[in-house]
Amino acid sequence: MRAIKEDYGLRTEQRVLDELSRRKLPCEPRVHIGDLEVDILVGERICVEVDGYYHALKEKVSKDATKEKHLESLGYVVLRINAADAKNRRRLREFASSVVKVYDEERNRESQREKALTRGIPQEELQQLKVKLEKEREKEKQAEEQAEKQESIRAKKLTDEELFLQAIEDLSKRGRK
């Protein structure tokens, strides 16, 4: 019985995810934010929670409220849809439309923040700063790749050493026979 309920919940989440994806929203299911897991993350700051029947239980309502407050304190927007609405095509479409609206508002807000940060700075200086930042990111990326390469070489050497020791052990066993 339990597996059916869990599977049912996942199918309901999948319906919501499919509807949001049809609207070309950038969605990611089962995202961890700190020690919390959200059902669907839309963009960078919108958490969509799909609530099954068990979310109506007293202890779950309290946990959901605490989770929602914590996410909001981190700057996330939390939108909820219950399973019954997710199964109803019209209500699911209405919900998806509201998610699109919030997503567009968040993108506009982010765009305004970027404009406010750069207001009064000459475009030429901004462009130079962007180029400088891109070069720094590229250097960081190259440094990370180099570190990964060196780690790979170290791991390979370790493996070679282990093989060498194994070969010596095998030879010494043959000599004892």
Q: Which residue has the higher pLDDT, 19 or 2?
A: 19
pLDDT at residue 8, rounded to an integer: 46
Least confident of 15-24, 32-41, 106-115, 158-167: 158-167
Q: How confident is the model at residue 7 (pLDDT cuts 50, 70, 90)?
A: very low
Query: How many whole angstroms separate alpha carbon 67 and alpha carbon 61?
Result: 10
The yes-or-no verdict on residue 30 having pLDDT over 80 is: yes
Query: For residue 28, what is the DSSP state?
Result: E
pLDDT at residue 115, rounded to an integer: 67
Q: How confident is the model at residue 1 (pLDDT cuts 50, 70, 90)?
A: very low
The answer to whether 20 and 40 have CB atoms below 8 angstroms apart is: yes
Q: How confident is the model at residue 169 (pLDDT cuts 50, 70, 90)?
A: confident
- pLDDT tens for each residue of 35-78: 999 999 999 999 999 988 766 666 778 888 899 999 999 999 99
The yes-or-no verdict on residue 166 having pLDDT over 80 is: no
Task: Name the burial class of residue 29, with classes exposed (0-12), middle (13-18) and buried (19+) by CB atoms within 10 angstroms of its CB.
Answer: middle
Q: How many CA atoms lie within 13 A of 22 on its CB side?
A: 10
pLDDT at residue 163, rounded to an integer: 75
- In degrees and rounded to multiples of 5, residue 149 shows phi and psi of -65, -45
- pLDDT tens for each residue of 101-127: 999 999 888 877 776 666 667 777 778
From the candidate CATH numbers 3.30.1370.10, 3.10.20.30, 3.40.960.10, 3.40.50.720, the one assigned to the domain spanning 2-118: 3.40.960.10
Average pLDDT, the chain: 83
Q: Which residue has the higher pLDDT, 171 or 29?
A: 29
Rounded to a whole number of angstroms, the CA Rg of the chain reads: 26
